[in-house]
Every structure is written in structure tokens, then in C-alpha cells.
């Protein structure tokens, strides 16, 4: 008797093999000779300097656009409420991410507590808003990375990393010296400064940003109360990620090695601005950027208090979202999203 979990895992693996067979590129790092970006930077003698530069930011924290300028080394806390050390909720292989991240061994996720956003519809609010988790040293964080590598994961997927970026860099350097080889995947809500993303150049191999909202007023209502700069900040950061990583490249097994995977969650009543999102991508990024337009919005946390987002999306809303993306010429849409599109489309016909 095969368990549901094993069945889902085998389906993902099978789908990945089919979908990505033939997508390999002999020139892509990872086809037998992958070296993570941070390892190359260490070889050049430049990683230690980046760790130092990142840690210096904790004394007047400007790791994200809030620019709280608090001294986190002395215990002061800013908007995100993060202390000096990283707080981790859990670390585990994850099979629910995009197929190129999951492969056979799963994506090695580390869920960081606290967040620099306050989305009223947050699905992880006990971790992101209440900060549930345990403080860890950089050495302990490095051990988690190595544990995920030992368990066969294909990448280190850093979930909500912005406010702990210095700790991540410190831990990566420790883990590298103990044998870490996996690419880092920077899984961010998108509220970043270009300056901080530049610090990650030649350290992060895979960028996994959200672009949640396109309208300033809506972001001030649903993402960070009173702050409408989310769209501008996220768009600028994503352009820099694209400059560094470009279009996603996979190895001969279809496993992500380098580049950008861009996420956007369709929300009810068009509040996320999906049509504008699609137009922005088409105008500002390569048309073959890997884009995951997601359908799994659910009413969580405070969302029931807001009329326009207090329901799930309809089949029609998801179908039109994917259709807009196709019409705009986006040619590298997530395969599972396309399957869901087909299901919803047939439901409507």
C-alpha cells in the first residue's frame, strides 16, 4: 500500500522527468560539475568580506526598505521584530515547491521566523508575525544546511530571508568549509532594497521572489499598512535579481541551478493586479522568465475582515490570469499552473 505522501512525491518526480527531459544545457553548471556561486566567491577570497559587510548592517539595520536603523547587535528591534540571531521555525525537505526545485530529493527549506511584511492574508502568520521558532547561532544554521544536503535535497531554500541575510551569509561560509555544495535559493516576499540584493551577487544562485501587488494603495492596505512602496521596491529588486541570475537554467535532470523563478498569487476581485503584473513582466524581463502564477489563495489570518479578499478565487479569475500571461507572450509558465488552468478552463466550458 503506497501512502498518499509517497504517491504525491512519485507523481512530482515523474512529472519533473517528463517536463524537463530535453531542457538540459551542456553549458549549465550542474551537469556533473556544479560549483555553487558562494564557493567560487570564497575561492576568489571575497566571501568573508561580504559576510562582514552584511553583519555591519545589523548595527544600523537597513536590510530592507523599512530602514529602521536600529542596533540589532545591542538588542534593539525594528519593524520585523527580529533579534540579532536568526530565529528558525523548522528545516525540512519540501515537495510542494516548483518542480525544478523539488526534483527527487525535495527542496531543502529553512523557514525563518519574523518578516518585514504584514500581509493581512498571511498563511504563516504565527511564524511570520508572531515570530514562533528558536534562535540559532550561525554554526547551528550551518548544521541545518548540511543536514538538508545529507538528506538528499537539491538546494537550500531560504524562506523569508531578508531580515536574516547576514546570518545566512555567515552560516553559508561555515557550512561551505564543512562540505556544503548546494545552491542557495533566496525565497523572498519581494520587499527588498537593490543595495542588499547586490550584496548577494555571486552568492545566491536561485532567486525565488514574489511580486504580490502592483498598486501602491492596495499594497498599503493589504501588505504593509500605510506603506505603498511595495510594488516599486519589489520591481526594482526583481530587475536586479534578473540582472544577476537571468532566465532559470536547469541541469540535465531538470533540477534548477541558476536564475530567477518569479511568483505571483492571483487574488479575488483582481486586487493583486494580475493583468498589470503580466504586462510588467513582459515589458521588463525576458519573455522566457520562469513565472509561477499561483491559484492557491485562501482566506487566512485577517483576510475575512476585508470584503474584497474574504473569499477564494473563482475558476474564471484563474483562467483569465493565465490567459493574460499567454497573450502577453510569457513562454515559460510553471507547468503545474498550466495544468490547473486546464482543469479550471474545462470546468467553465
Binding site residues, ligand SF4, CB under 6 A: 61-64, 66-68, 70, 78-80, 82, 116, 163
Q: Residue 24 or residue 81: which is nearer to ligand SF4 going by CB?
A: 81
Q: Residue 88 or residue 328: which is nearer to ligand SF4 going by CB?
A: 88
Q: How many CB atoms lie within 10 A of CB 207?
A: 27
Q: Residue 78 or residue 189: which is nearer to ligand SF4 going by CB?
A: 78
The minimum distance between CB 115 and ligand SF4, in angstroms, equals 9
How far is the C-alpha of 78 from the C-alpha of 295, rounded, in Å?
Answer: 33
How would you label 334-347 residue by residue, b for 16+ Cβ within 10 Å and e otherwise? bbbbeebbeebeee
The minimum distance between CB 66 and ligand SF4, in angstroms, equals 4
Indicate the residue whose CB is closest to ligand SF4.
78
Maximum Cα–Cα distance across the chain: 61
The minimum distance between CB 308 and ligand SF4, in angstroms, equals 27
Q: Residue 71 or residue 90: which is nearer to ligand SF4 going by CB?
A: 71
CA 247 to each of CA 30, 285, 315: distance values in angstroms, whole numbers, following the listed order: 15, 9, 29
How far is the C-alpha of 21 from the C-alpha of 250, rounded, in Å?
Answer: 10
The minimum distance between CB 86 and ligand SF4, in angstroms, equals 12
Distance of CA 295 to the CA centre of its chain: 16
Q: Residue 37 or residue 68: which is nearer to ligand SF4 going by CB?
A: 68
Q: Residue 63 or residue 88: which is nearer to ligand SF4 going by CB?
A: 63
The minimum distance between CB 137 and ligand SF4, in angstroms, equals 19
Q: Which three cell numbers stand for residue 329?
A: 507572450
How far is the C-alpha of 284 from the C-alpha of 240, rounded, in Å?
Answer: 11
Residues 89, 93, 94, 98: is their CA dihedral positive or negative? Answer: positive
- What residues contact 56, with CB distance under 8 A and at least 6 apart? none
The minimum distance between CB 61 and ligand SF4, in angstroms, equals 3
How far is the C-alpha of 129 from the C-alpha of 117, rounded, in Å?
Answer: 8
Amino acid at each position: 500500500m503506497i501512502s498518499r505522501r509517497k504517491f504525491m512525491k512519485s507523481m512530482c518526480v515523474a512529472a519533473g522527468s517528463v517536463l524537463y527531459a530535453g531542457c538540459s544545457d551542456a553549458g549549465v553548471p550542474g551537469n556533473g560539475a556544479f560549483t555553487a556561486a558562494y564557493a567560487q566567491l570564497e575561492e576568489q577570497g571575497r566571501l568573508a568580506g561580504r559576510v562582514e559587510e552584511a553583519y555591519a548592517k545589523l548595527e544600523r539595520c537597513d536590510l530592507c526598505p523599512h530602514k529602521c536603523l536600529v542596533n540589532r547587535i545591542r538588542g534593539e528591534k525594528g519593524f520585523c521584530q527580529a533579534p540579532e540571531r536568526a530565529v528558525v521555525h523548522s528545516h525540512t525537505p519540501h515537495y510542494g515547491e516548483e518542480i525544478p526545485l523539488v526534483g527527487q530529493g525535495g527542496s531543502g527549506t529553512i523557514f525563518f521566523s519574523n518578516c518585514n511584511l504584514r500581509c493581512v492574508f498571511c498563511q504563516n502568520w504565527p511564524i511570520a508575525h508572531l515570530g514562533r521558532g528558536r534562535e540559532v547561532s550561525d554554526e547551528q544554521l550551518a548544521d541545518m544546511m548540511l543536514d538538508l544536503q545529507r538528506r538528499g535535497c537539491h538546494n537550500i531554500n531560504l524562506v523569508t530571508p531578508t531580515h536574516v541575510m547576514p546570518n545566512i551569509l555567515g552560516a553559508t561560509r561555515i557550512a561551505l568549509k564543512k562540505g556544503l555544495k548546494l545552491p542557495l535559493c533566496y525565497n523572498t516576499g519581494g520587499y527588498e532594497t537593490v543595495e542588499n540584493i547586490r550584496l548577494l551577487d555571486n552568492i545566491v544562485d536561485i532567486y525565488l521572489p514574489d511580486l504580490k501587488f502592483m498598486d501602491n494603495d492596495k499594497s498599503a492596505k493589504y501588505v504593509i499598512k500605510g506603506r505603498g512602496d511595495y510594488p516599486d521596491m519589489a520591481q526594482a529588486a526583481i530587475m536586479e535579481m534578473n540582472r544577476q541570475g537571468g532566465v532559470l537554467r536547469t541541469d540535465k535532470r531538470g533540477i534548477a541551478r541558476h536564475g530567477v523563478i518569479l511568483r505571483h498569487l492571483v487574488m479575488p476581485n483582481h486586487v493583486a493586479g494580475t493583468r498589470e503584473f503580466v504586462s510588467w513582466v513582459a515589458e521588463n524581463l525576458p519573455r522566457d522568465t520562469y513565472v509561477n502564477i499561483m491559484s492557491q489563495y485562501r482566506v487566512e489570518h485577517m483576510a475575512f475582515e476585508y470584503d474584497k479578499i474574504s473569499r477564494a478565487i473563482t475558476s474564471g479569475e484563474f483562467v483569465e490570469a493565465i490567459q493574460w500571461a499567454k497573450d502577453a507572450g510569457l513562454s515559460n509558465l510553471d507547468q503545474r499552473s498550466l495544468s490547473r488552468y486546464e482543469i479550471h478552463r474545462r470546468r467553465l466550458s
